[in-house]
Chain A
Amino acid sequence: MSSFTGTGRLARLAVRRDRIRLAVWVLGTPLIGYALAESVAGFYPDEQTRLGYAETAVSSVVARAFNGPIAGTELGAVVVTETYLTLALLAALLSTFAVVRHTRQNEETGRAELLGASAVGRYALLTAALVVVVGANLLAAALLALAFVGTGLPVAGSLAAGAAIAGVGVAFTGIAAVAAQLSVTSRGANALAAATVGVAFLLRAAGDVLGERGADGARLISAWPTWLSPLGWGTQVRAFAGERWWVLALPVALLVAGLAVAFLLAERRDVGAGLLAARRGPARAASGLLSPAGLTWRLHRGALAGWAVAVAVLGLSFGVAGHEVDAMISENPAAAEVIAQLGGGSKLVEAYLAAMLGLFALTIGAYVVQALLRTRGDETDGVLEALLATAVSRTRWLGTQVLGAVLGALALVLLGGVTTGLGYGLAAGDPIGWTVELGGAALLRLPALLVVAGLVTALFGALPRWSVALSWTVLIAFLLLWQLGALLDLPQAVLNLSPYTHVPSAPAAHPTVLPLVGLTVVAAALVAVGLAAFRHRDTPG
């Protein structure tokens, strides 16, 4: 029996377990790519409009930070610039979660032990996970390339664009393989790998912000920090604009290096153990822990602190970048239009700031979903049974979870507004005024987050088995509606499905009370449905 015996079987098992997730990933990527490419082709049909676009993309700091460097004025290059961030982040996060799910999570739940005792090699579990995830990346990339070709783009460039996205996924597969060896819990491994995605994003953004205008004016030459980032490599392939195929060797090298390290670590540690040793805890509980609220705080404070740091860093940098928006975008109608669509209103700076607050509100939606779905996690792993067998009522327990998630969202959204205002105020003057103004504007987004909390609660109460998949699907749909709604020219009735459509776009637009009250009422109704359904159903359900 070799160290790899059973890899094929385990890979098939992983595909069977994840058949729906993998199908959504592999088919969703080209679908999003196709829809975006079609809409971009409609927006920038000729050289003239694309020159204007490239001018914005090169000169705007905000466009550089988010979209990355533009490689040229060919239609394909514009498509890549417009789609890269979405597709690359999807590939990075989906790869990370899939690797951890099939490695560390198996160990954590004891499945690995069961499998390890059968005729399965020492490296088989890790190898099977990698085969499946790399395979999914390659398949998704091939279909994405096909989708680009289908919209009429050149074949070579389409292949390079697909390969660039696959490269991002493959690089993070290697990183996640190491993270899964380091941390004892899958939650910890996911957090570790997701943090590297964040760092990679910041490095790439920094490199592109510091980059120089190319000789022909329509190309951005990224600075060195971009080259340190696996998210940056994909942009350096320069699909559709003189492809540099050799750049693709970088993610492959990172995958190989990650695998080598992961196998080395797997060789040296016991099943179930990590490198980060478990610490001891107190022999007695502090009195603050001894209530549902105390327990909720204890279980969520770590994640909340992580979110707070990320939100504060992003807020300050969004704010500081906002100072340049005035100067840069006022002479650029194409960029102005995009920002106005996202932020609304007439003044560009305010539209930009409003767009950033909107982005925060959406991202913090992920915190709400993550925090509230812990209810389902507690139910499936049996902790809830022990809790509900004590003198805690179902309403009190679930109500505490909802309240905790909402208060967390309130704190984060306020922090996002305050730091954005502070950053902008420090750069443009009047820090206190802007801090107060944007803090207040951010709070107006809270009702949308309340609706998200209500949706997750209702799903947990009424459709527990589907709550995890549906909650995330709904949030991603809101994100897509916000990001692509205007671009794809969707009818207002569809846009209205998202609560984020209804929150006032302050500071660009004046706040109106009615939608806020409406959203809050909808949220309260959803929470009530969730609580009532949970009171009447079996647990585990």
Chain B
Amino acid sequence: MSVISIESLVKTFGGVRALDGLDLRVEPGEVHGFLGPNGSGKSTTIRILLGLLRRDSGQVRVLDGDPWRDAVALHRRLAYVPGDVSLWPNLSGGEAIDLLGALRGGLDQRRRDELLQRFDLDPTKKCRTYSKGNRQKVAIVAALASDVELYVLDEPTSGLDPLMEAVFQEEVRQLTQAGASVLLSSHVLAEVEALCERVSIIREGRVVESGTLSELRHLARTTVTVETGRPVTGLEALPGVHEVRPVDGRVRLEVEPAHFDALLGHLIRFEVRALTSAPPTLEELFLRHYGDSANGSRPASVGGDR
């Protein structure tokens, strides 16, 4: 049974459709990457999962409960790190951590102290004097020191330096080893590639791709660069081949995975001298979806579990 399951979720603010039939599924024990540009609806989705916002329509289940109706009971079983952490200016960092932990239902003191040390956070400073990164550390420590089943992390590392980000990644891996599930919203693609088994890419309130990273790569076009003895012809007529352009006496093109075989059969007639093929990086997958929004056309659907 899924830890989070969302079907056809719709949320409007005034006339703006922030979520437009969003589907999302997070399975037990996985770190699920939730990717999307600013304003695509990531935080709105998370706020609905936390029972802060009411959905207009669609089904949402979190840990087999209704996030709006069963908010209090569910919140004992999950921990949340907001994207923009606000704290009480006149409380110390240590007090804020203990308070958030206690209100959630308890904190592992030993783990708390260990995390404070790992994240190099001074708990005696008043929250108003913390930088954005340090406020984020307060929220991260308070969340990770709670022993819960689900961690909802909304861009948790956007204010952290690379050293601290590495610490964060290690800690998240430990959580999943202990059996917890994580929903990680982020636009740090390297972090998502390092941590997540599966990702969902959201754009304008809908999930446009979802699956494991290798699935997504299979579904997306591969870039092929080929050098041949004779000029290649007839590429445009091949099914599944796109974006053919000559580069320094070679030809670069994109091919859909299903048509790779046919392409190779065609190329072999032109004396192939060198050939490189690169599966798309997550960044390319991602850019393809939000690059499209610049020229206004809908992205070409390449599958996923929509």
A residues adjacent to B (C-beta < 8 A): 184-185, 278-285, 289-292, 295, 298-299, 381-383, 385-394, 536-539
Contact = CB atoms under 8 A, between A and B. Distances in A.
A445 to B, nearest CB: 31
Nearest to B105: A391
Contacts of B126: 278-281
A383 B135 CA distance: 12
Interface string B161-192: 00000000000000000000000000000000
Interface stretch (B48-56, B203-211, B212-220, B288-296): B48-56
A536 B55 CA distance: 11
Interface of B: 47, 50-54, 71-73, 75-76, 80, 82, 84-92, 94-95, 97-100, 102-105, 123-126, 128-129, 139
A281 B95 contact: yes
Given A290-B102, A292-B103, A386-B100, A284 B72 contact: no
25 contacts: A184-B128, A278-B128, A279-B126, A280-B92, A280-B124, A281-B126, A283-B94, A284-B95, A285-B94, A285-B98, A289-B91, A289-B98, A290-B102, A291-B103, A299-B88, A382-B86, A383-B86, A386-B100, A388-B51, A389-B52, A390-B104, A392-B72, A393-B71, A538-B54, A539-B53
Contacts of B105: 390-391
Contact of B100 (A184, A281, A381, A390): A390
A389 B124 contact: no
B92 A185 contact: no
A391 B125 contact: no
B91 A388 contact: no
Contacts of B75: 389-392
Given A291-B102, A393-B72, 19 more contacts: A278-B128, A280-B92, A281-B125, A282-B92, A285-B91, A285-B95, A285-B99, A289-B95, A291-B103, A299-B90, A381-B86, A382-B82, A383-B86, A383-B88, A385-B52, A385-B82, A386-B82, A536-B54, A537-B54
Contacts of A298: 91
Contacts of B52: 385, 388-389, 538-539
B94 A284 contact: yes
Nearest to B43: A385
A533 to B, nearest CB: 13
Given A278-B129, A283-B123, A382-B84, A295 B99 contact: yes
Given A385-B52, A389-B75, A281 B103 contact: no
A387 B104 CA distance: 9
Contacts of A390: 75, 100, 103-105
Contacts of A291: 102-103
Contacts of B104: 390-391
| A-B residue pairs, 3 tightest by C-beta | A281-B92, A382-B86, A285-B98
A285 B132 CA distance: 22
A282 B96 CA distance: 10
A284 B71 CA distance: 28
A281 B94 contact: yes
A387 B100 CA distance: 7
Given A382-B84, A385-B82, A386-B100, A538 B53 contact: yes
Contacts of A185: 89, 128
A535 to B, nearest CB: 10
